[in-house]
Amino acid sequence: MAKENQILEEITGGEYKYGFSTDIETETAAIGLSEDTIRFISNKKQEPSWMLEARLKAYRYWLTLEEPKHWPHLSYPTINYQDIIYYAAPKKQQQLSSLNEVDPELLRTFEKLGISLEEQKRLSGVQSTIAIDAVIDSVSVKTTFKETLAEKGIIFCSFSEAVQEHPELVKQYMGSMVPYTDNFFAALNAAVFSDGSFCYIPKGVRCPMELSTYFRINTSGTGQFERTLIIADEGSYVSYLEGCTAPMRDENQLHAAVVEIVAQKNAEVKYSTVQNWYPGDKNGKGGIYNFVTKRGICAGDNSKISWTQVETGSAITWKYPSVILKGNNSVGEFYSVAVTNNKQQADTGTKMTHLGKNTRSTIVSKGISAGFSNNSYRGLVRIAKGASNARNHSQCDSLLMSDTCGAHTFPYIEIKDKSAIVEHEATTSKIGEDQLFYCRQRGIDAEKAVALIVNGYCKEVLNQLPMEFAVEAQKLLAVSLEGSVG
């Protein structure tokens, strides 16, 4: 309550708060993409040859693909893939064992972003502590609480480290949910990914703290291609958070990530994202192109994967966190808030593929469009033959804040089993004038009233977020909608 109030107090300036860039010495790959670029990245990371082979295979496949421009409700100039730097890393980067070894400039950067890389335990105890893997441009600079987690057998490290230290797990799972053949951006990522987070929760372990990755793009002209792999072994539980920001630049920077999750029997993974990449300016200049493939598989019986996302940033968002419900009685959830303002475009949603028996999925999507933006929900619910007693409920609501924006809903529902019950509901409306007036009569100005009403509208989704993130998300919602009331 006090926090909510604080949030509203803080909403004053309307600008993107994370738009600064840090002056750090950076080592980059030569601009452009070729097999040499991939060899350069692989070499930088001293990868085993199987990894390099996997990259090259993906690259060769990628060359045969076309960018998927026909079906998303997005329009943007053709991306010149030879005009991107595929690897950039802060120079001092070495094997770091203590915080003191991290470039102080980097520490300050994360501090400024509100991310503490110091392992201080809070008064409320370990439970509310967050372990962070901080990724800047192409590399992970620091992973906190590794030792504490290791005591429980939890592996939480950078992806590069996992390739070195846990090759058997990486080999077994990498690409099993999102193969390089999946789509254009997944293939590109498989070829050039530079780092990311890796997480393994052993059998029966409940991860004692939130795990989190913070992505920061810093260097101009680079793309960020990270990969996250989360393996929840039988009966385990983990809540994973992801946050991202980037400097304000006139150029469009590409972010093409892959996230893979596997939940074994009785395991549960909760994955939350607050996406706040630089959205570009009022006129649509600059901003991140965010093309992300996220997929989880409920491999074992009674497993559960839940995606929650709050998407406020990026010039373009193309993202469909999905769940394959393979295990019997498995559960998939997707909770999403997507806000677009000015010239932003979002085409986002989910795919729920029901294969096992008695599987359940829930989709709640809240789209809010303002300014000149376009906001689309695109989702697929597929009930395979033999997936008996599958249940799905989808609710997709769109809120329009201006008469120059667009709100769209494109659900695909495919049912091949007669015992399925699938329900889909969608609504589109504008913000209630009478609600606004009511708030204003009580002394709340229009801008704050909008923030209040929109937060209420998104409550169902925001409630899914861990506390710290919920606060962040509410702030973001208010900030991204500033200037949207006429």
Residues found near other proteins in the complex (CB under 8 A)? 1-2, 4-5, 8-9, 70-71, 73, 385, 398, 400-430, 432, 434-435, 437-446, 448, 452-453, 455-460
Distance CA 206, CA 235 (A): 8
Question: What is the full DSSP assignment across 62-82?
Answer: HHT-----SSSS---PPP-GG
Q: How far is CA 412 from the centre of its chain?
A: 22
Tell me the closest approach of the beta carbon of residue 14 to other proteins, in angstroms. 18
Residue 371: CB minimum distance to other proteins, A: 11
Phi first, then psi: what are they for 150, rounded to 5°?
-60, -30
Provide the pairing of β-strand 237-245 with 268-275: parallel
SS (H, E, C) 321-370: CEEEECCCCCEEEEEEEEEECCCCEEEECCEEEECCCCCEEEEEEEEEEC
Nearer to other proteins, 146 or 424 (CB): 424
Cα–Cα–Cα angle for 265, 268, 273, rounded to 5 degrees:
145
Checking DSSP bridges between strand 139-143 and strand 227-232, what pairing results, if any?
A: unpaired
Tokens encoding 339 = 């806000």
CB of 147 to other proteins, least distance (A): 38
Please report how close the Cβ of residue 404 comes to other proteins at its closest, in angstroms.
Answer: 7
Smaller CB distance to other proteins: residue 246 or 405? 405
| CB nearer other proteins, residue 94 or residue 418 | 418
To the nearest whole angstrom, how small is the minimum distance from the Cβ of residue 1 to other proteins?
6
Which is nearer to other proteins, 122 or 416 (by Cβ)?
A: 416
Give CA–CA dist 366/346, Å, rounded: 12
Q: Which is nearer to other proteins, 103 or 472 (CB)?
A: 472
| C-beta closer to other proteins: residue 134 or 462 | 462
Residues 473 and 366 sit within 8 Å (Cβ to Cβ): no
Helix (H) or strand (E) holding 38: helix 35-44
Q: How far is the CB of 385 from other proteins (least distance, A)?
A: 7
Q: How far apart are CA 426 and CA 394, in angstroms?
A: 8
What distance in Å separates the CA atoms of residue 341 and residue 16, rounded to the nearest whole number?
Answer: 12
Provide the minimum distance between the beta carbon of 362 and other proteins in the complex, in angstroms, as a whole number: 15
Q: Which is nearer to other proteins, 89 or 451 (CB)?
A: 451
Q: In this complex, which beta carbon is closest to other proteins, that of residue 228 or of residue 317?
A: 317
Task: Give the shortest CB-375-to-other proteins separation in angstroms.
Answer: 10
